Amino acid sequence: MNNQGLKIVTIGGGSSYTPELMHGFISRYEQLPIREIWLVDVAEGEEKLKIVGEMAKRMWKASGYDVDIRLTLNRREALKDADFVTTQFRVGLLNARIKDERIPLSYGQIGQETNGAGGIFKALRTIPVILDIVKDMKELCPDAWLINFTNPSGMITEAVIRRAGFDRCIGLCNGPITVMKEEPAMLGGKTEDYFWRFAGLNHFHYHRTFEKSGKEVTKQILAAMSVFDSANMANVQDEEYLSDHLNALNCIPFSYHRYYYMYEQMLERELAEYRNHTTRAESVRKVEEELFELYKDPSLCEMPELLKKRGGAYYSDAACEAIMNIHNSTGNLMVVNTRNRGSVSCLEDECIVEVSSIIAANGATPLAWGDFEPSERGWLQIMKAMEETVIEAAISGDYGTLLKAFEINPLIRHGKGAKAMMDEMLVANEKYLPLFSEKIKELKDSGVIIHDETVRVLCEKGL
Helix 263-276 vs helix 93-106: angle between axes, to the nearest 10 degrees?
120
Q: Give the least confident one: 182-186, 289-293, 368-372, 413-417.
A: 413-417
Rg over alpha carbons for the chain, rounded to the nearest Å, is 21
Q: In Å, what is the CA distance from 88 to each residue of 36, 40, 450? A: 18, 10, 29
- The rounded distance, in Å, linking the Cα atoms of 189 and 184 is 5
Q: How far is CA 348 from the centre of its chain?
A: 22
- The rounded distance, in Å, linking the Cα atoms of 145 and 147 is 6
Residue range 317-334, pLDDT digits in tens: 899 999 999 999 999 999
- The rounded distance, in Å, linking the Cα atoms of 161 and 348 is 14
pTM of the model: 0.96
% of residues, the chain, pLDDT over 70: 98
Residue range 126-141, pLDDT digits in tens: 999 999 999 999 999 9
Name every residue whose Cβ is closer than 8 Å to that of residue 168 and which is 6 or more positions away in sequence.
Answer: 143, 144, 145, 146, 363
256 is catalytic: yes
CA angle 120, 277, 44 (to 5 degrees): 60
> What pLDDT, on a 0 to 100 scale, did the predictor assign at position 235?
82
Residue range 159-192, pLDDT digits in tens: 999 999 999 999 999 999 999 999 999 999 999 9
- The rounded distance, in Å, linking the Cα atoms of 115 and 79 is 31
> What pLDDT, on a 0 to 100 scale, did the predictor assign at position 339?
98
- The rounded distance, in Å, linking the Cα atoms of 27 and 348 is 38
Q: How far is CA 121 from the centre of its chain?
A: 14
Is the model's pLDDT at 312 over the cut of 80? no
- The rounded distance, in Å, linking the Cα atoms of 70 and 292 is 19
Q: Would you call 402 exposed, middle or buried from its count of C-beta atoms within 10 A (0-12, 13-18, 19+)?
A: buried
**What are the φ and ψ backbone dihedral angles of 139, each rounded to 5 degrees?**
-85, -40
**Which amino acid type is present at position 368?**
A
Q: Which of 194, 256, 314, 315 is catalytic?
A: 256
Is the model's pLDDT at 308 over the cut of 80? no
Residue 72: which H helix or E strand, with range? strand 68-72
Is the model's pLDDT at 311 over the cut of 70? no
> What pLDDT, on a 0 to 100 scale, did the predictor assign at position 358?
98
What are the beta bridge partners of residue 353? 338
- The rounded distance, in Å, linking the Cα atoms of 81 and 78 is 8
> What pLDDT, on a 0 to 100 scale, did the predictor assign at position 3?
66
